[in-house]
Amino acid sequence: MKQDILAFIADDQGAVTVDMVILVAGIVVLSLGVFSIVTETTLEAAAGRINDLIVSLLPS
C-alpha cells in the first residue's frame, strides 16, 4: 500500500505541478471575490433598510 502511494506520487500524474497550484490559487481568489461582492451587496441593502427604519422613527 505504501509503495503504491509512493509510486503514484513519483509518477507525473500524481505530482503537484505549478499549473495545478496556480489553478487552485485562481479558484480561491475568484471565490473570495464573489464572496466579497455578495457580502457588500447584502450589507448595503441592510444599511439602507436600517437607515429607513431610523428615519421613520424620528419625529417629523
Domain boundaries, position 48: 16-57
3 within some domain: no
| 24 part of a folded domain | yes
Give the total number of structural domains in the chain. 1
pLDDT, tens only, 20-44: 889 999 999 999 999 999 999 999 9
Query: Do residues 42 and 36 make contact, with C-beta atoms less than 8 angstroms apart?
Result: no
Using one digit for the tens of pLDDT, what is the confidence trace for 45-54?
Answer: 999 999 999 9
Place of cell 471565490: 31
Q: pTM (2 decimals)?
A: 0.59
Cα–Cα distances (Å) from 19 to 7, 14, 33, in that order, read 21, 13, 21
Helices (H) and strands (E) in the chain, counts: 2, 0
